[in-house]
Amino acid sequence: MGDFKKLVVWQKAHAVTLHAHRLAIGIRPAFYAPVRSQLVRAAMSIPANIVEGARQESNRDFARFIRYAINSACELEYHVILARDMGVIPEKDGSSLLGEVIEVRRMLHGLLAAVRKESPARSQEAKDTAPGEYSPLPADKA
């Protein structure tokens, strides 16, 4: 796959993680610790799975990790809804983070579709895509 940091979906997932962490820091008192922990854990799992998947040898394995990232995005969506509805994070902040999570999840579905279309053996051209882009096709064929 190449450098995961060039994937726009990873960049946005990383930003979601930072946003979730900033919100989680403000969650008090101590009995909300499980909500705080789950928010951060689910958020961190999204870009971490993209990173791990990008290093896999086959598209099938990469697709598996993308599905893990999608599942983590779904989990994070629920935890944000829960925290917002419990009143432990502000409505506006929760809604903003939800929008970001949904955007990342949609991008992950697009990446998954592209990876599934690519031939099983990754070509060097696909590994060397332009910064911020993932194309299953060589640059001269895209």
Give per-10-residue mean pLDDT for the chain (142 aa). Answer: 88 98 93 95 98 93 97 98 95 96 98 84 44 39 38
| pLDDT recorded at residue 91 | 95
Residues 6+ apart with CB under 8 A from 58: 120, 121, 122
The pTM assigned to this predicted structure is 0.81
| pLDDT recorded at residue 139 | 39
